[in-house]
Amino acid sequence: MRSLRLSKVAEIVMGQSPPSSTYNSVGDGLPFFQGKAEFGDLYPSVRMFCSKPLKVAEAGDILVSVRAPVGPTNISPGRSCIGRGLAAIRPLKGLNSTYLLYFLRYHEPELAQAATGSTFPAISRSDLEGIRIPLVALPEQKRIAAILDKADRLRRLCRYALELSDTFLSSVFLEMFGDPVTNPMGWPRGTIAELGRVQTGNTPSRKDPRNYGACIEWIKSDNIVSGEMFVTRSREMLSREGLRKGRSVPPGSALVTCIAGSATTIGDVALTDRRVAFNQQINAVTPYRDVDPRFLYGLLGVAKQLVQRRTTRAMKRMISKSKFESLELIKPPMAVQEVFARVVKSLERLRTQQRAAQRQADPLFQTLLHRAFRGEL
């Protein structure tokens, strides 16, 4: 398979940021894209406009992030202004734009390695011009692009399905119980302390290596992932000695992030499906017998904003154990909670299938991507 320099088969437009006085958010001028932060699956999100663009990408141009980070790609949805963090690559006659897009995604690791600069790694026009792209006849490019497009669409659909199911649970909760703060359905109320036993985690001294070993997982806020029902696996574990000094909870407990550098992660919640220990960033609620764990998970998920409103405004956001315990929510009869719990179980089975599909779709796409540009597809 012959290869040609990118400069021979595409026009390259390096971005240039216009004066800040020309930026606006009211739609005056062209959409203004500055870098990777705006990128989506295929097209960047419009956050800003520019009334006097200096460098312009045309509809369908491939946008490449050329500055911190280097390599990610998107497609310009229309005429747009591009800042210095981007370059627009416009295929010439004989080069299919979709084929080019997937080649650049395949080539992304090499682009990242070419970056220079300690503070803001970047690549130059000459780095882009020197890329060698394997070129086959146009019909063959279109065939390869169509195969990769189908595989890429499959993995995006799998991811979208998971994202949609993230919102489904809260919608069902609100439909069944209403807002747990305003309580429009008049359910019996209860504080979090009345729903379950609340504990704040801790960190056994790291100065004593005997505290860490292989006895029990030690969960941190990173293991509480938004949209994931159960805490993820922790690589760090406590020893039996550490467990005696730490705090642990049984399966069916809800772990809530109550200290974090980012305000958006305060109130994130996940259930335990095994006994775990946990650190001081987390408050655990072990439900009493008249509270279903899955109901508690749904309740605390919907009440996340209430938790956030009670946090301190310091650099590191936090809600104290006493404030957390005193938050008043709802406590419907157990029989009603169990109806919701059955919905949660069904949803979790569906999400398990969705995650399995995504685990298959992502490697499939990567395999096809590598085969395509090694002449094996």
pLDDT in tens, 5-20: 999 999 999 999 999 9
The runs of H, that is alpha helices, within 115-196 are 125-129, 138-177, 192-195
Which position has the token pair 């627009």?
A: 88
Return all residues near 334 (Cβ < 8 A) that are at least 6 apart.
Answer: 290, 291, 292
Q: How far is CA 334 from the centre of its chain?
A: 34
DSSP annotation of 368:
H
Q: Quote the CA–CA distance of 262 and 255 in Å, as a whole number.
A: 17
- Nearby residues of 300 by Cβ (< 8 Å), 6 or more positions away: 254, 256, 267, 269, 285, 307
The answer for residues whose C-beta is within 8 angstroms of residue 51's C-beta and 6 or more apart is 22, 24, 28, 29
User: Contact, 317 vs 178, CB < 8 A?
Assistant: no
Reading the block at residue 114, the tokens are: 């070419």
Is residue 86 within 8 Å of 35, Cβ to Cβ? yes
Q: Indicate whether 107 pLDDT > 70.
A: yes
Beta 3-5 vs 80-82: how paired, if at all?
A: unpaired
Among residues 32, 124, 136, the alpha carbon closest in space to that of 70 is found at: 124
237 touches 218 (CB < 8 A): yes
Fold of 188-331: Adenine-n6-DNA-methyltransferase TaqI; Chain A, domain 2 (3.90.220)
- Determine contact, residues 275/248, Cβ cutoff 8 Å: yes
C-alpha–C-alpha distance, residues 30 and 9, integer Å: 27
* Amino acid residing at 90: R
Which residue matches tokens 């009440």?
303
Q: What is the pLDDT of residue 2?
A: 86
pLDDT over threshold 80, residue 103: yes
**CA dist., res. 251 & res. 254, Å (int):** 9
- Mean pLDDT to the nearest integer, 276-284: 96
314 or 87: whose pLDDT is higher? 87
Q: Report, at the CATH architecture level, how domain 3-134 is classified.
A: Alpha-Beta Complex (3.90)
At 161 the pLDDT is 85
Residue showing tokens 């574990």 = 237
Q: What is the pLDDT averaged over residues 68-89? A: 96
Domain 188-331 in the same topology as domain 3-134: yes
Indicate the pairing of strand 62-66 with strand 56-57: unpaired
* Confidence grade of residue 310 (pLDDT, cut at 50, 70, 90): confident
**pLDDT greater than 80 at residue 1:** no
Mean pLDDT of all residues in 124-150: 95
Answer yes or no: is pLDDT of 281 > 80: yes
218: nearest Cα among 293, 283, 275:
275
Q: Is the peptide bond before 69 cis (omega within 30 degrees of 0)?
A: yes
Token pair of 268 as six digits: 């994130």
C-alpha 197/C-alpha 334 separation (Å) is 17
Q: Which two tokens stand for residue 96?
A: 């299919």
Nearest alpha-carbon partner for 359 in 172, 159, 191: 159
Of 79, 78, 74, nearest to 100 by C-alpha is 74
Q: Model-level pTM?
A: 0.74
Per-residue pLDDT, averaged over 252-266, amounts to 90
Res 305 pLDDT > 70: yes
Strand-pair partners of 49: 24, 31
Mean pLDDT of 293-319: 88
Question: Which pLDDT value is given to residue 243?
Answer: 96
Q: What are the tens digits of pLDDT across the range 176-234?
A: 999 999 999 999 999 999 999 999 999 999 999 999 999 999 999 999 998 789 999 99
Q: Where are the domains of the chain?
A: 3-134, 188-331
Q: Which residue reads 């930026």 in tokens? A: 23
Residue 314 has what pLDDT?
62
In whole numbers, what is the pLDDT of the chain averaged over residues?
93
Please check the confidence at residue 315 and state whether its pLDDT lies above 70: no
Higher local confidence (pLDDT), 160 or 364: 364
